């Protein structure tokens, strides 16, 4: 897995329109349902995967810009080392934006919640999470966080075409971890 970085999100309960009763809340990488802490890209302090190298960088931004930390959940992301092109069903390597410094402090204080499938048509920041955004969770097995439980099953879902008509690709499999120590995931 490739360490992508950290994010702080406002995790929301399953919206009524997402007809998957087993889903309790949505830990999607995209900010369509559970929003990020801010429109952080305008600060230009993210790494080449468009996340943050350390949780403390997010805390510092929030402090500098008067953004409340109340209700934020800190997450750590890793990705399958290849992205899936849903047009020709091939796996291809990807990496961070070479023009943006990337030095992710890998978390040792996190709990794996599951795997999200995320669109990256622009090849930089995460776009939609079709499991939740496009209701694909109604067609695949997901856990209470609207994530897939195993990497193998996530790969299988992509390769069998379940996500082909959800959003433009390529798609990346992203492991979603919650930080056990909150914002100080650097312990």
**What stretches of the chain show up as alpha helix (H) in DSSP?**
55-65, 130-133, 151-159
Peptide bond into 133 cis (omega under 30): no
The 8-class DSSP code of residue 187 comes to: -
pLDDT given for residue 187 in this prediction: 39
Domain extent listing, the chain: 2-184
Average pLDDT of 12-37?
Answer: 96
Rounded CA-CA distance 66/75 in Å is 21
Q: Is 144 exposed, middle or buried (0-12, 13-18, 19+ CB in 10 A)?
A: middle
Each residue of 165-176: b (16+ CB within 10 Å) or e? ebbebbbbbbbb
Task: Spell out the residues 6+ positions from residue 123 whose beta carbon is closer than 8 angstroms to its own.
Answer: 94, 170
Per-residue pLDDT of 118-163, as tens digits, reads 999 888 899 999 999 999 999 999 999 999 999 999 999 999 999 9
24's CB contacts (< 8 A; 6+ apart) are: 13, 14, 144, 145
Instruction: Provide, rounded to the nearest whole percent, the portion of the chain with pLDDT above 70.
Output: 96
- Cα three-residue angle 31-73-83, rounded to 5 degrees: 45
């Amino acid at each position: 897995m490739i360490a992508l970085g950290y994010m702080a999100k406002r995790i929301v309960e399953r919206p009524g329109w997402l007809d998957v009763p087993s889903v309790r809340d949505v830990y999607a990488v995209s900010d369509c349902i559970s929003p990020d802490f801010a429109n952080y890209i305008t600060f230009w302090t993210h790494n080449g995967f468009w996340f943050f190298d350390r949780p403390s960088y997010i805390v510092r931004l929030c402090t500098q810009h008067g953004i409340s930390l109340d209700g934020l959940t800190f997450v750590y992301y890793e990705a399958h080392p290849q992205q899936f092109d849903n047009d020709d069903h091939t796996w291809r390597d990807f990496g961070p934006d070479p023009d943006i410094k990337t030095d992710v402090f890998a978390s040792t204080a996190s709990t794996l919640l599951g795997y999200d499938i995320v669109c990256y048509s622009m090849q930089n920041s995460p776009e939609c999470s079709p499991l939740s955004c496009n209701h694909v969770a109604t067609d695949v097995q997901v856990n209470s966080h609207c994530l897939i439980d195993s990497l193998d099953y996530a790969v299988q879902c992509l390769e069998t075409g379940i996500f082909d008509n959800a959003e433009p690709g390529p798609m990346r499999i992203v492991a979603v971890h919650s930080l056990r120590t909150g914002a100080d995931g650097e312990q």
